[in-house]
């Protein structure tokens, strides 16, 4: 079955819930009249805007999916400041970004933690968008493949084949995030294709490697999106800064239609 591209906006720690309303309304306006059946569009606002964006999108029958940027692995408990998969599921959240490099580098997120969260996400019918990617030094040291292989293997360890096939990986080279530097389409394709082969090997099944959606992230803009999305193994993008501008994000979405 052909993989449907996913264009997901990671808003990071931007936008109050009032600003979120405006941004989603503008995005609806920008994409009105476009047939979105060829690609899936998701917005991942901060926790404080999830309920607001959910009700807005449902009331206005917008065809966008809702995503969260993180979650805890437990259903509930004494974990001050955390949000559980049960809470996300109740908001009809479809995607949850796990193991973003900002959380790994700044907040101590580990591969083992990402693995627990991925298992919890599946248990609650949430689809993980699991991030991986190398630093500039690792790239220069020829360590790109070993870094992403370790992250992918550990992040998905022990997950059933059929669930892996339905999940999403985002390859985000850290040096390309928020820097305006983008991996060339060929370089991004090479690493994404490598990730597919890692998945196929780990799950002993070519079909799982062929089915899983793998996105590219890192300074995706309207001007470079098409060349990246046209690569055979790249199934869309995880977009940071450019997702905060409805016109720019809509143009990125259109390049996947
Ligand atoms: P930018 O698109 O701002 O580079 O961010 C990418 C990213 O981290 C998405 O998760």
Q: Could you tell me the two tokens for 176?
A: 């390309």
> What confidence tens digit (pLDDT) does each residue in 175-200 have?
999 999 999 999 999 999 999 999 99
Is-above-0.95 flag for pTM? yes
> What confidence tens digit (pLDDT) does each residue in 199-219 have?
999 998 889 999 999 999 999
Res. 1: pLDDT tops 80 = no
CA-CA distance, 212 to 62, in Å (whole number)?
25
First to last CA, the chain: 17
Domains parsed from the chain with CATH numbers: 6-254 (3.20.20.70)
Instruction: Quote the ligand 1 centre to 153 CA distance (angstroms).
Output: 23
> What confidence tens digit (pLDDT) does each residue in 231-253 have?
999 999 999 999 999 999 999 99
**Which band of pLDDT confidence, cut at 50, 70 and 90, is reported for residue 2?**
confident
72 is annotated as an active-site residue: no
Cβ–Cβ < 8 Å for 39, 236: yes
Res. 75: pLDDT tops 80 = yes
**Residue appearing with tokens 């437990």:** 74
Residue nearest to atom 2 of ligand 1 (CA): 240
Instruction: Quote the ligand 1 centre to 128 CA distance (angstroms).
Output: 17
Residue nearest to atom 1 of ligand 1 (CA): 240
Q: Could you tell me the two tokens for 13?
A: 């720690």
Cβ–Cβ < 8 Å for 150, 213: no
136 is annotated as an active-site residue: no
């Amino acid at each position: 079955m052909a993989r449907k591209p996913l264009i997901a906006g990671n808003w990071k720690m931007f936008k109050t819930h009032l600003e979120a309303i405006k941004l989603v309304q503008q995005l609806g306006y920008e994409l009105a009249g476009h047939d979105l059946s060829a690609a899936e569009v998701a917005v991942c606002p901060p926790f404080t805007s999830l309920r607001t964006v959910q009700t807005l999108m449902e009331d206005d029958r917008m065809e966008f999916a809702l995503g969260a940027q993180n979650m805890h692995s437990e259903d509930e408990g004494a974990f001050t400041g955390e949000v559980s998969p049960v809470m996300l599921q109740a908001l009809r959240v479809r995607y949850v970004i796990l193991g973003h490099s900002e959380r790994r580098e700044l907040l101590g997120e580990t591969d083992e933690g990402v693995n627990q969260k991925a298992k919890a996400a599946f248990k609650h019918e949430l689809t993980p968008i699991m991030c991986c990617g190398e630093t500039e030094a690792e790239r220069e040291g020829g360590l790109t493949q070993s870094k992403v292989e370790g992250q992918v293997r550990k992040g998905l360890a022990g997950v059933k084949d059929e669930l892996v096939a339905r999940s999403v990986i985002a390859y985000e080279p850290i040096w390309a995030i928020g820097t305006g530097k983008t991996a060339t389409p060929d370089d991004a394709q090479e690493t994404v294709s490598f990730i597919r082969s890692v998945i196929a090997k780990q799950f002993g099944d070519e079909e799982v490697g062929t089915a899983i959606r793998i996105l590219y992230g890192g300074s995706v803009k309207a001007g470079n999106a098409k060349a990246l999305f046209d690569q055979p193994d790249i199934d869309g993008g995880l977009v940071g800064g450019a997702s905060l501008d409805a016109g720019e994000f809509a143009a990125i979405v259109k390049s996947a239609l």
